[in-house]
Amino acid sequence: MSPAQETLLRRVEKVDGGLDSQDVATSLGVDHQAIVGAVKSLLALGDVISAEQRSSKHWELTGEGCEIAEQGSHEARVVSSIPEEGMPQSQLMKLAFGKVGFSKAMSNKWIRLDKGHEGGPRIFKTVEHLEDLVRDKLLLVQKGQASQLEEKEKNELKKRKLLSEVTVKSYWITKGSCFSTTITKQETELTPEMIASGSWKEKKFKPYNFEALGVAPDCGHLHPLMKVRTQFRQIFLEMGFTEMPTNNFIESSFWNFDSLFQPQQHPARDQHDTFFLSDPAQAHEFPQDYLERVRKVHSEGGFGSQGYKYDWKIEEAQKNILRTHTTAVSARMLYKLAQQEKFTPVKYFSIDRVFRNETLDATHLAEFHQIEGVVADYGLTLGDLMGILHQFFNKLGEGSTSQGWGQFHSFNSLPGNVIQFKFEVGL
């Protein structure tokens, strides 16, 4: 503990209320800053003392003010330097205080100017004795009795740059809750040595700041969208759906559009909505008999449908694209299922990336993920579809509501149901 701190503590102990640091500094004859330093270091030790910041205003003499206090104001000196017979003005002006003092002395009527005097304008004293009020006031301030002067007087002197107001910061020091004249340094942490030696029992520990946050663990993170995907995937698996192999971003128009009964002149197959490939530009392998059936239904109808009645072209179907929906994969899977000798009911799902060449905006990108589910069995009804969807949303969690409405999807030609739902994703 430094001597400053010690003395300070002693002083505080003796006093009943508190101390002003400025006063302490003055009485000890040390620089105020040293006291401030002591105060601060005492504060760091805990509640030994409490210090309140204060600022007080102080009038002080400027450099010029000091000069005047010593030697008298300019105007007084002007008068005292003029002999009985007067002094030529030009001579007076040569003196340092001449110019300023002259005008002031003139306004105080302490001197007079004889312009017509021979040998040039001449200045004469008019009074023998004068009261150098300015000097007196400054002396008062110097002595520390500035309070005796009125505000107006002080401001006037301030205007003349003889006085300046100075803000002095000081501390009001009072005893803290753990005041004592001896200081014990506080420990921050328990150390192995303390445990080994048992010295922790005698030590005082700094209070812990419970308001601050702890140290963030340095760990990796999973992507939020991928976390959602994992969640959905889990729900599907729990509902008995098998994952489809969707690891093919590039698809032929045949599987993506034609096999799903989307007519070849449909706007979705435009350059505007679909990404076409220039390399590899075309697919070259298709199940031929299935392709024939697809062609027939499009152009002539079949299986209860009237078809679209247009010329179906294989070149259109061969075009490779970046798939616009994972339903293309569902189509492949259903085809495979149909090739099985014996039909088995299936439930398939997939969650994977699809691509659409549409205008991007704040909520739409060219690539996004699509969730797809297929159930194939005998005797399935619309009620079953809604039932499954309802259960899916139930599993998503509380706060999920769903409302169904039937709609035709403009992107493909399938009659579809749009489900409008709201849910909070809790991860």
Partner 1 sequence: MPTVSVKRDLLFHALGRTYTDEEFDELCFEFGLELDEITSEKDIISREQGDTKAEGASDVILYKIDVPANRYDLLCLEGLVRGLQVFKMEAPRYRRVSPASSEPQRLVITKETTAVRPHAVAAVLRNITFTQERYDSFIELQEKLHQNVCRKRTLVAIGTHDLDTISGPFTYTAKPPGDIRFKPLNQAKEYTAQELMSLYKTDSHLRHYLHIIEDEAVYPVIYDSNGIVLSMPPIINGDHSKISLNTKNVFIECTATDLTKAKIVLDMMVTMFFQATDLSVPGTVSPHHHPAVCFLLWENILEPTGQYVHSDYPHSICNPQPFFGISESTEHIAQLLTKMCLRSEVMSDGEQIEVEIPPTRSDVIHACDIMEDAAMAYGFNNIPRTTPRTYTIANQLPLNKLSELLRQDLAAAGFTEALTFALCSQEDIADKLLKNISETRACRISNPKTAEFQVARTTLLSGLLKTVAANRKMPLPLRLFEISDVVLKDESKDVGARNNRRLCAVYYNKSPGFEVIHGLMDRVMQLLEIKPGQGNGYHIQAADDSTFFPGRCAEIFACGKSIGRLGVLHPDVINRFELTMPCSALDIDIEHFL
Q: Taking CB under 8 A as the criterion, which residues in 344-373 touch partner 1?
A: 345-347, 353, 355, 357, 366-367
Contact between 339 and partner 1 by CB under 8 A: the answer reads: no
Task: Candidates 267, 335, 338, 399: give the one binding partner 1 (CB under 8 A).
Answer: 267
Q: Are 269 and 373 in contact (CB under 8 A)?
A: no
How many residues belong to the site for partner 1 (CB under 8 A)? 82
Nearest distance, CB of residue 326 and partner 1, angstroms: 13
The answer for residues whose C-beta is within 8 angstroms of residue 1's C-beta and 6 or more apart is 183
Torsion angles phi and psi, residue 74, rounded to 5? -60, -45
Q: Smaller CB distance to partner 1: residue 32 or 293?
A: 293
Task: Candidates 170, 262, 320, 330: give the one binding partner 1 (CB under 8 A).
Answer: 320
Q: Taking CB under 8 A as the criterion, which residues in 378-397 touch partner 1?
A: 379-384, 386-388, 390-391
Task: Candidates 126, 164, 184, 413: give the one binding partner 1 (CB under 8 A).
Answer: 413
Residue closest to 163 by CA, chosen among 173, 172, 152: 152
Q: Which stretch binds partner 1 (CB under 8 A): 123-131, 133-141, 184-192, 225-233?
A: 225-233
Distance CA 322, CA 327 (A): 13
Taking CB under 8 A as the rule, which mask of x and - marks residues 105-144 in contact with partner 1?
A: ----------------------------------------
Q: Smaller CB distance to partner 1: residue 49 or 297?
A: 297
Residue closest to 335 by CA, chosen among 278, 255, 281: 255
Contact between 292 and partner 1 by CB under 8 A: the answer reads: no
Task: Candidates 410, 422, 423, 425: give the one binding partner 1 (CB under 8 A).
Answer: 410
Cis peptide before 83 (omega within 30 of 0): no
The answer for residues whose C-beta is within 8 angstroms of residue 231's C-beta and 6 or more apart is 396, 427
Contact between 326 and partner 1 by CB under 8 A: the answer reads: no
Nearest distance, CB of residue 337 and partner 1, angstroms: 12
Nearest distance, CB of residue 315 and partner 1, angstroms: 15
Q: Which stretch binds partner 1 (CB under 8 A): 32-40, 52-60, 151-159, 275-283?
A: 275-283
- Where does residue 406 fall: left (phi above 0), alpha (psi -120 to 50 degrees), or beta otherwise? beta
Nearest distance, CB of residue 393 and partner 1, angstroms: 11
| The two three-digit tokens of residue 152, written as one number | 């107006």
Nearest distance, CB of residue 288 and partner 1, angstroms: 12
Q: Are 297 and 261 in contact (CB under 8 A)?
A: yes
Return the sign of the alpha-carbon dihedral for residues 129, 131, 135, 141. positive
- Which amino acid, 317? A
Crossing angle of helices 21-28 and 32-44, in 10° steps, is 130
Contact between 213 and partner 1 by CB under 8 A: the answer reads: no
Residues paired with 61 in a beta bridge: 163
Q: Smaller CB distance to partner 1: residue 24 or 328?
A: 328
Number of other residues whose CB lies within 10 A of the CB of residue 263: 19
Task: Candidates 193, 223, 361, 398: give the one binding partner 1 (CB under 8 A).
Answer: 223
- Which amino acid, 304? G
Q: Which stretch binds partner 1 (CB under 8 A): 26-34, 37-45, 185-193, 276-284?
A: 276-284
| The two three-digit tokens of residue 346, written as one number | 């299936």
Q: Smaller CB distance to partner 1: residue 166 or 225?
A: 225
- Which amino acid, 426? G
Task: Candidates 191, 203, 230, 338: give the one binding partner 1 (CB under 8 A).
Answer: 230
Q: Across the beta sheet with 122-125, what order do the strands follow?
A: 87-88, 122-125, 111-114
Nearest distance, CB of residue 395 and partner 1, angstroms: 13
